A and B are shown apart, each in its own frame.
Chain A
Amino acid sequence: MADCTNRTVYEIFQSMEEGPAAAPSAATAQAWLDHHSRSLGFFMEGKFIRPAERQTLSLADSTGGVLCSTACAEDGDVSQCASSAATGYKSWSSLACSQRSKALLRLVSVLGLHGQCLSELCALCEASCSPSALVRLLQYYSSWAQLRDTLIPGWTSLGVVVVVSSDDCSLYSLMLKVLPALAMGNSVIVVPGRSSAPPALLLAQLFTAAGLPAGALNVLTGSDVTLGAKVSQNPNVSYIAYCGNKQDGLTLCKASAGMGVPVSVSPCIGALCPFIVFESADIDSAVDEVIQVAFKKKKEVHWVLCVQESVSDSVVARLKLRLAGMKCVALSSEADRGLVDAAVQEAQQQGATLVQSCSASPSGAQYPPTVLCGAAPSSPYVVSPPPGPLLPLLTFRSNAEAVVLGNHSPHGYAASIWTEDLTLALETAKSLSVGSVWVNSSSVSDPCLPVSGHKDSGTCTDGGQEGLYQFLRPSFSSPLPRSSPVSLEYSKFGTEPSQPVIPDSPVGASLPQSYLQFVGGKASKSASGCSVAVQAPGGGSVLALCPDGGHKDVRNAVEAAIKVQPGWMKKSPSARAQSLYSLAKGLESKKKEVSASFCTQLGVSGDEADKEVELSIARLNVWAAYCDKVQGGSLPMPQSGAALSFPEALGVVGIVLPDKHPLLSMVTVLGATVATGNAVIMVPSQRFPLPALAFIQVLQSSDLPAGLVNIIPGNRDQLTAALANHSVIRAIWYWGSAEGCQYLQYTCTSPLKTLRLFCQKDGEGSDAGTDWAQSQPSLLEDCWRNAVQWKSVWIPTA
């Protein structure tokens, strides 16, 4: 191809080759980089700051030449940036909703002027984001900024939000976090990955030109994602949102463990997504689409082509024809070539056959698009996909098997399904455990689609109104208390043996009452057979003995829960509501006993106890009413078609209950999780377990499926560790010690669990923490929104 510029017209006339691709112009972006001497600094206080003598990272363009360098922030820069964001938060959050909305809209017109520069810069840095996609994001979120107080009353901004992305994350994914955070009135510190750093800096500059107050949007660059944790040490930071590859996300979780800042992770890069082609599909269109998405130079997800056996031959035949004319795809490095070669060789040794556009040149950082036919779910190149334009193809027999195949992976990001059969499409979409389902299409993203990565693919919801709540807190609540990480031996957490109970009661004293745990629908002793003593308020005497639950009890509870949870989720919302109403009735009939245990436990008057029980009955009734009100709907996509959102249960949720309002808090979280279709394993407050244990008799007489609600008392740390180490448990809500919070955030990364961590201090005044007795709607909304994950289904039509 070296001499291709000398081709004569006649030669081309005969060969019909396409000629060299003209290099896209990048003059504007280059001029912007030159203006910054190709050495970029940080953006804070509304301006560029380029401190001297910082370490730098150089960013290469696609040809390997140095494009520019970014600076690595030092401690001084970090604190300057955090205080800039704190100042920015004051001025940004004090604006009216309409003013914030206007500022976001003004950026649209600023982009009209400088969109060229931005898109060129994105192209140079390979951090793709089309200006039109950005404009759509801005318009969508500016309308939410306008309507925050109207449509989301009772909620307020968090404060300073840190948005972190990994090196390979696109600017679009980054802005999908930044813009809703800004729209809800937070100030943002962006810690971009390497490739998105220059466009993020440019955008910050454009935002300021559009009238964003100084400090509302800051950009800080460093050598890796742990800079995100460093920034978060600042007491002004109240939330960390991460998008990018999974590995860096886990690093960030671990690095920020114990700070008391919630972290959400959206591993949008590197997920494994099934591309399911049924025999009822428009096969040509499916083949065209898979070729378009699977062989991109920079692909964010790894597709696996799953084809119904009856049509696999015709799919392969079309792939052969269509691949024939395709050119080699550039790899990101020479080193990747080695990985691709090794993977292909291994695949061939295992009997895979290749469909290739041309045979691979012996070396060089490029590879022809290749389909690996004869893949199996256990093939190494399916389990851990290598880089490069490789597409494994596996076959399935029936519709049901397609779902099993699609779900049998730790990933739950997205799936593409192809069929002309509407019923089949909807059934499959409902059964797949992924955040996005694209019917007869793929890789469609829009900010109006609420998407929660299922399983290992995320711990928060992005997009739609549902995605805004991660950047809000109920107005009545106070910001979470901050803490500092302590040095903690994670492997030892929760292993300290409980105080054994020995017979030493003085002669004549009545024996303390003995309580049971509730696992799999049965009241029983703990698996260990041991008990722990429950002290009377103020200490001293032993009030009661309760089972000392451990990891075996948690395991048994999970086994029971996972059996009944899918059936519970499938029940009609009104059937779930009836069960909860009858649970409330059951509590009413056992009012006396439960109230008595409350009195004994907390040493309060009978009136006070009765009031707590009354409130609890009322709360269960409210949750029953909520069952058929938690609903998805159809979404306003700009393209024509039907976009649907569905709230889905998380699965099995582990809850370590708070000390405060031991009965009311328990029924509140129980109602929230069960009403939305989850199964729950609850650990009662270690100090005040008796009301929860008394509640077991109510559960026993209820018609909830056995195993849906489990109550395991015992040593809190020991049970926390047990919950943390069970992979089936998808979420943990924890009220407990700072160490416990730190332990969970550090440990619950593989597989990812959705965490809600609340640090409560022993002996805390009764006014601290959540007031469970209040009737603000946002209290319950906060609960149920955290108990569901969203799936969006996109069915485009002509």
Chain B
Amino acid sequence: MSGRNPGTDLDLEWLSKVRVNTQAVLKRAQHIQGLKVPKKQWQTAWLLKAVSCIDLTTLAGDDTPSNVHRLCVKAIQPVRYDLLKKMDMHDKGLTTAAVCVYPARVADAVKTLKAANSSLPVASVATGFPAGQTLLQTRLQEVHMAVRDGATEIDIVINRTLALTGQWEAMYNEIRQFREACGDAHMKTILATGDLGTFTNIYKASMVAMMAGSDFIKTSTGKETVNATYPVAIVMLRAIRDYFLRTGHKVGFKPAGGIRTAQESLVWLNLIKDELGNDWLHPHLFRLGASSLLADIERQIYHYVTGQYAAYHELPMA
């Protein structure tokens, strides 16, 4: 993995110059959705790329060791072995990018993966996920403990109160502390864009999160009413590009919430490719936060390999 984003000093002047034209962004999003997606083996290869970028996620109140165990095993073998073999992809080490769970389930996930001799990273949401409305001290403690339990990636949520009231400096300082608490674990910062109101705010929040040293910026928790949308993604990707142009550091991007179909995942890949280029089409710079997406992708791959449409029960569940 290339060098992490060390962050920069908070540059408020840079923030003040941010302008986003809403209709132009919406038009661009429509254009992206109208782009042709690849067909035949190109489509399959792209879908496998999408699989390799998935943070296979379960974030529910009724998570127990047993469904986390199932999730981890699926993450290690995301596509049926015989299907991969037909494409000569069985020995390429294809897994999802990570599994993503609540802090209390990190230990379960780590245990399962260790038993299976897998080095698949375990990501944990933290900092009062999803609302972030707990005290700073508790949120920091949460990060520490998730890391202690073996999470190597931490998905933090920002403090929306600070973002909405324009207290960028305070938000910067909080994220800085989270980053320190993460240590070697990679930090993905969830902006909860559905709560931020305007594109300009999303751009500014993205920028502050990157200045504070986020390795990834992530659209949403999956718990807001509006989750990962293409216009929001365009704004965030532009912020990533802007940050790269100014500092030379590549920050990753993770859309999450509401991504369910193989077709959508292809549009996401198209979007990343168009806005940022092929460099970002790797798990170390692009993640898809999803749970049911994998099943649909596997069905598409089944269709490519066999020419038949699979019933869900023909493919192993997560």
Contact = CB atoms under 8 A, between A and B. Distances in A.
Contacts of B24: 282, 285-286, 288-289, 440-441, 796
B46 interface: yes
A764 B96 CA distance: 92
B166 interface: no
Given A282-B24, A798-B26, A9 B281 contact: no
Interface string B8-27: 00000000000111111111
A18 interface: yes
A430 interface: no
B46 A420 contact: no
A641 B27 CA distance: 13
B40 A10 contact: no
- Give chain A's interface residue range (CB within 8 Å of chain B): 35 or more
B44 interface: yes
A286 B28 CA distance: 11
Interface stretch (A235-243, A245-253, A318-326): A318-326
B26 A9 contact: no
A502 interface: no
Nearest to A325: B277
A292 interface: yes
A16 B20 contact: no
Nearest to B86: A9
B313 interface: no
A322 B242 CA distance: 12
Contacts of A418: 21
Interface in B14-58: 19-28, 31, 36, 38-42, 44-46, 48-49
Given A325-B274, A440-B24, A797-B23, A284 B238 contact: yes
A286 B38 CA distance: 27
Contacts of B39: 19, 22
A9 B89 contact: yes
Contact of A321 (B42, B87, B277): B277
Given A289-B24, A321-B241, A13 B281 contact: no
A280 interface: yes
Contacts of B19: 280-283, 420
A648 B178 CA distance: 60
A218 B62 CA distance: 72
A290 to B, nearest CB: 12
Q: Among B21, B24, B48, B245, which residue has the most Cβ atoms of chain A within 10 A?
A: B21
Contacts of B241: 284, 318, 321
Contacts of A19: 38-42
Interface in B254-280: 269, 273-278
Nearest to A796: B23
A278 to B, nearest CB: 10
A789 B4 CA distance: 59
Given A9-B87, A21-B36, A440 B42 contact: no
A317 interface: yes
Contacts of A604: none
B273 to A, nearest CB: 7
A19 B238 CA distance: 26
A8 B88 contact: yes
Contacts of B22: 797-798
Given A13-B48, A19-B40, A798-B26, A285 B274 contact: no
Nearest to A19: B42
A10 B26 contact: no
Contacts of B242: 284
Nearest to A420: B19
A318 B245 contact: yes
A420 B198 CA distance: 15
B245 A288 contact: no
A325 B280 CA distance: 12
Given A16-B273, A282-B21, A285-B21, A321 B28 contact: no
A10 B27 contact: no
B48 A325 contact: no
Q: Among B24, B25, B26, B273, which residue has the most Cβ atoms of chain A within 10 A?
A: B24
Given A282-B24, A285-B21, A798-B23, A9 B48 contact: yes
B196 to A, nearest CB: 16
Contacts of B31: 292
Nearest to B31: A292
A280 B238 CA distance: 17
Nearest to B37: A18
A322 B245 CA distance: 12
28 contacts: A9-B48, A9-B87, A10-B89, A12-B46, A15-B278, A16-B45, A16-B46, A16-B269, A16-B273, A16-B278, A19-B41, A281-B19, A282-B21, A282-B25, A285-B24, A288-B28, A321-B245, A321-B276, A325-B273, A420-B19, A440-B21, A440-B24, A441-B24, A441-B27, A641-B23, A796-B24, A797-B22, A798-B26
Interface of B: 19-28, 31, 36, 38-42, 44-46, 48-49, 87-89, 92, 238, 241-242, 245, 269, 273-278, 281
Given A13-B92, A19-B39, 19 more contacts: A8-B41, A8-B87, A10-B87, A10-B92, A11-B45, A16-B46, A16-B49, A16-B281, A17-B42, A19-B41, A280-B19, A284-B241, A285-B28, A288-B24, A321-B277, A325-B273, A325-B278, A420-B21, A641-B23
Interface of A: 7-13, 15-19, 21-22, 280-286, 288-289, 292, 314, 317-318, 321-322, 324-325, 418, 420, 440-441, 640-641, 796-798
